Structure 1
Amino acid sequence: MGETTDSEAELQFPHANIVAARAIRGVLESSLGPLSHDTLIESRAGKTEREPGEPETRVDTVSSDGATILEELPVEHPMGPIIRRLVAPERPGTTDVEGELVPDGIATTVVLLGALLDEGERLLEMGVHPTTIEDGYSAALDCVEQTMETLSRPLESFDDPTAAAEMVARSAMTGNDVGNARETWASGAVEAARQIGMPDEETLAIRQIRSGSIDDSRLVFGTVLDRNDICDERMPHRVTDANVLVISGFKRGKANDGKTGGLQDPDFQQDGERLVIESPDEIDAFDDVFATRREEVVAGLVEAGVDVVVTRTGINDAYQELLVEHGIVGIRGVNRLKLAQLASATGATPVVDPTDVTPADLGHAGLVEQQTIDKRQGRRKRRRMVVFDECSDPASVTFLLRGVHGQLGAQAATEIRKAVAAVATAMGETTGPAGVLPGGGATELELADSLRDAALEADGREQLAVQAFADATDRFVSTLARNAGMDTLTTLTSLREATTNATNGTAPGLVFPAGEIDDVLEAGLLDPTAVRLRCYQHAVDVASLVLRVDDALDATFSEEPTQPGEAIYDEHAENHQAYLDEQDDTIWHE
């Protein structure tokens, strides 16, 4: 065995990083596919957080959604946060942001990442340099992008584009069909995507109601104020062809000038000031000023044609009397997000000063109706909500989910958001390519064939990396089969045979729950091209990063410089060097 150079001796085998990524893959692997399994993630409050005698608190998460599992998974290894951050967008932590972006394809990305790292580890043991593996994976990704471009079909190319879009929505909810409502929600997801495009927290709202059946859930072309009701029982509870005024803003500190977020009288007494009243007549004079102002404000609303006024803050009793007198509906105390959703749905321009309202500021709703819904705990009266429906060309819509609440409701909301986002992505509402690809592993089989052909044309040792990439895509299909209880070797062999003998226009793949090999296009298994491509891009990015990192240092600040041997993974580097010492046929000995 020849002598190794300094550069060869410094190469360190990134085994610990690969093991960490493989562990995360092992957790998410069972959540892949339509016959996925739920994962239980247990979290317990520490003893220091409990009062004396208080029982231990358990906060368990049960989910088969890859993004949820990855977010809740307690990972202490340094590579864990890196994988989580690169694979999925950062979440706001403990902040509960309603309508935040729900990423799709997380389980697919992590499973592909694990397969690429398994293959990369095998190549490293053969003596292939990490840079060579990275170059080979990059070349393979180029081949993947070209093949996907060839396989991708726009929704308009199908005989029934709407039915194809519903297939995309159903595929996005595969494995998480809450209440067997996937068929019903798919049509609503398509309608929502066509109306608002790519959803966000303002354009797509989801409201959950305990009462009713899950089959009664529907898409509202407008918004639903599920925590607010009409402020006076004498006001109309149903208004058609309604002009809607939205008063935004907020009360600044202790001072209220009557122009900040509601219909209230100004506060003349501010910090450091006081009113001096010398006679009862002066009190009446002040009251007359308030009364005159209120009448002028409401008269302005009537002149502008306001039917419904919705405020950020309050509507005092005197204003309520005037609104009742003129038949105007008042709704108060609506939070900022719901107020923004209402403005987007109705087309209203939020105003701050109620004395300066014009018809151009008003939005429109075909129907505004107060409905009685859930029974309040410990109370006789049932909770109420106000529905703004039949808005013309709304920029915000609402999914009204009935019969769900708690963790089940949260999971249903997540799946609906994923479905709407998937359809919007397939329609080209994102920066990625529009179109759809066949699911059920059919695309992966085509990619594997293209990669093996490309490997024959690759230069030098990159050929090994491209071939390894093809094997990794096969592992993805094997995982789908294994989660469904099928024999992986037999299934993969049969799929390859079916792909080879496939006629033009068909895409053999795994069709579940039947567990058969059939045409996935006929079965309605379609995935957005951009989502599938993003899975491969992220998997390659993270795999390349993990393979490049060959050491980690303790970042604790110290006055003393880091000494040799203080690397966190120094033991693994020594093991790899021992391996090289025992071999004489690796690249490092040429």
Structure 2
Amino acid sequence: MHGPDSIADITRQTDDAVSRNIAAGVALSEVLRTTLGPKGRDKMLVGDGTVVLTNDGASIVDRIDVESPAANVVAGVARSQGGEVGDGSTSAIVLAGALLKEAESLLEEGFHPTTVVTGYRTASRRARDTLADVASVADPEDRSVLRDVAAATITGRWDEERSTFLADLSARAYLAVRGDDGPRLGNVTVHGVPGAATTDSELLDGLVVDTDRSSTSLSDVPEPAPRRVTDARVAIVDDQLTVREPDATSGYTFEDAEDLRRAQEFETDEYRRYERALTTRGVDVLFCQKSVDERLRARLAREGILVFERTRQDEVRKLERATGASAVMRLEDLSAESVGRADAVVRTELAGTEFVTVREASSSQVSLLLRGGTDHVVDETERIVVDAVSLLATFEDRPRLVPGGGATEIALARDLRSYAPTVAGREQFAVEAFADALERIPFTLAQNAGMDPIDALLELRRRHDGGDGGVGVAADDGTIDDVTARGVSEPLRLKDRVVANATDAAGFLLRIDEIIQTNKSPSSHGSEEGHDHDHSHAGGGLRSDPHGYPWAIGH
């Protein structure tokens, strides 16, 4: 009998597995820790020919290969955090890593993983309840408030001038699509165009169509199409505008010249019918979801009608919102009520790309045209603005703010240390460890701002003990100051999800006794020796999404 030895072996294997999980999670959090805060350092990611310069945690974990299954769990925190609230991915992963690091010390002292997990969950519930006491009510319709909220996710990714500009641009975009039933983020379309300064970016009422990335195209006719049509009446048709031509199984049979003349008259009458259907409704611009016959395009051009063909279905819906037009299945169904209007339909060229801009002041559809010096700058600007607008929608769900700059984490840690002695059993040590992990956030903020992190942490504790609950790390000038007075605030729900997601990830890894890797390829089912090969997930991990058109926040 080898019972005791077997139990000891199992215990040792379990401890080793937990240690490996902790190490993997901590390693990933260390990758992102240097990017936390306004002065966090950028990272350049290079792979598959794509270069990305960013300090956005979600962008980083979305583009790197994560081999370890345990690290993949922590990386999932970024996806969950970004998907729920649009920001806080780096903070969530850094906190998860800090929780795992604190757990490692407790396990070395003989604490069971279950005890640590139970204590962490107790601390998490307490911290999330305490957030309500720290938070202040804010007006979700106040543009200055929205600008400050957006700045919380933008600051640190750009310099002060561009951060302020993009925060205001994001707030304006959000307010433009905010209705009585809440924000309609699907009504915001984002386009990035290199070749200009970031501050040249615009918020446009209506829709911008990038004809290079879209199937929408301007019909090619001999007559020069106008570059701009003002006070335009717009029609949208979901049909192919052509006279049916004979196919392989049927055709015209002409017995004399009169038959040919009648066939030509029939085609001409069909074109005239199409033409009258548009001109009698005063249509200036036609968007057709299918193709338009060449002869009809020429006739419409002579009438001064700008024709776009092969417009995508998703763009049709946006055009309806932008112009108030209603798409009709057949041109014969076109009515005065189904024709919309636009202040202007403009064809422009930016950086070698043709754009069609449908401008309408009363439009419920808006477009963000983001500029930047290079493609890399434009891509990062797109990520920043999409995150900011998504964060504003999260803020409206619970319009309450908590201090930024690590001030909230200090307040939560202070409360947990007072609360820990009331927790029965050894779980109180895990509650205190949770408080220490929370302070990793302001510690890192101070470190990335060039401050002495230990001195900064001690000063923060002293100020909070004295009742200055709004004091945090003012990373822009490397001081400890009242961050709320500087407008450095974060939505309550963002901070709530950071604590919840980090706790879930840490608890999940601490409960895993062993990771069993499988390989379903035929080669893995061979001889006994075949089972001794490396089970690493080659090529696995996190992959970036393709950069497609359009960037609609609602997608």
Q: TM-score, normalised by structure 2?
A: 0.84
Provide, for residues 111-137 of structure 1, a one-character-per-residue CA deviation record: whole Å limited to 9, x for no partner. Answer: 001001011111222222222222211
Q: Which runs of 5+ in 2 are unaligned?
A: 536-555
- The verdict on how the C-alpha distance between 1:147 and 1:315 changes in structure 2, with shifts beyond 3 A counting, is same
Between the aligned partners of 2:258 and 2:109, the Cα distance in structure 1 is 99
Between the aligned partners of 2:264 and 2:374, the Cα distance in structure 1 is 48
Between the aligned partners of 1:133 and 1:568, the Cα distance in structure 2 is 32
Paired residues of 1:195 and 1:393 also in contact (CA < 8 A):
no
- The verdict on how the C-alpha distance between 1:266 and 1:456 changes in structure 2, with shifts beyond 3 A counting, is farther
Alignment map for 1:375-394 (pairs within 5 Å): 376=352, 383-394=353-364
Aligned: 1:244 with 2:207: no
Aligned: 1:32 with 2:23: no
**1:215 offset after TM fit, Å?**
2.4
Between the aligned partners of 1:8 and 1:134, the Cα distance in structure 2 is 23
| Residue aligning to 1:332 | 309
Aligned length: 515
| Residue aligning to 2:151 | 170
Between the aligned partners of 1:36 and 1:200, the Cα distance in structure 2 is 32
**Match among 358, 366, 380 for residue 411 of structure 1:** 380
- The verdict on how the C-alpha distance between 1:276 and 1:313 changes in structure 2, with shifts beyond 3 A counting, is closer
Between the aligned partners of 1:101 and 1:152, the Cα distance in structure 2 is 20
| Residue aligning to 2:404 | 439
- The verdict on how the C-alpha distance between 1:324 and 1:69 changes in structure 2, with shifts beyond 3 A counting, is same
> Is 445-454 or 277-286 further displaced after alignment?
277-286
> Is 178-187 or 479-488 further displaced after alignment?
178-187
Provide, for residues 148-174 of structure 1, a one-character-per-residue CA deviation record: whole Å limited to 9, x for no partner. Answer: 1222233229xx932121111111111
> Is 107-116 or 530-539 further displaced after alignment?
530-539
Aligned: 1:519 with 2:482: yes
Q: Could you say what secondary structure the match of 1:368 adopts?
A: strand
Q: Which runs of 5+ in 1 are unaligned?
A: 45-57, 92-99, 249-258, 377-382, 570-590
RMSD: 3.2
Aligned: 1:317 with 2:294: yes
Paired residues of 1:229 and 1:385 also in contact (CA < 8 A):
no
- Identity percentage over the alignment? 28
Aligned: 1:465 with 2:430: yes
Between the aligned partners of 1:283 and 1:182, the Cα distance in structure 2 is 69
| Residue aligning to 2:172 | 191
Aligned: 1:63 with 2:26: no
| Residue aligning to 2:543 | none
Aligned-partner residue type, residue 227 of structure 2: H
Provide, for residues 483-505 of structure 1, a one-character-per-residue CA deviation record: whole Å limited to 9, x for no partner. Answer: 112111100000111122235xx
| Residue aligning to 2:325 | 348
**1:5 offset after TM fit, Å?**
10
Between the aligned partners of 1:226 and 1:207, the Cα distance in structure 2 is 8
- The verdict on how the C-alpha distance between 1:456 and 1:404 changes in structure 2, with shifts beyond 3 A counting, is same
**Match among 262, 285, 296 for residue 262 of structure 2:** 285
Aligned-partner residue type, residue 236 of structure 2: V
Aligned: 1:554 with 2:517: yes
| Residue aligning to 2:244 | 266
| Residue aligning to 2:79 | 88
> Is 24-33 or 35-44 further displaced after alignment?
35-44
- The verdict on how the C-alpha distance between 1:277 and 1:423 changes in structure 2, with shifts beyond 3 A counting, is same
Alignment map for 1:303-314 (pairs within 5 Å): 303-314=280-291
Paired residues of 1:554 and 1:568 also in contact (CA < 8 A):
no
**1:179 offset after TM fit, Å?**
8.8
**Match among 496, 499, 502 for residue 533 of structure 1:** 496
Q: TM-score, normalised by structure 1?
A: 0.79
Aligned-partner residue type, residue 169 of structure 1: A
Paired residues of 2:414 and 2:435 also in contact (CA < 8 A):
yes
- The verdict on how the C-alpha distance between 1:235 and 1:535 changes in structure 2, with shifts beyond 3 A counting, is same
**1:351 offset after TM fit, Å?**
3.2
Paired residues of 2:149 and 2:392 also in contact (CA < 8 A):
yes
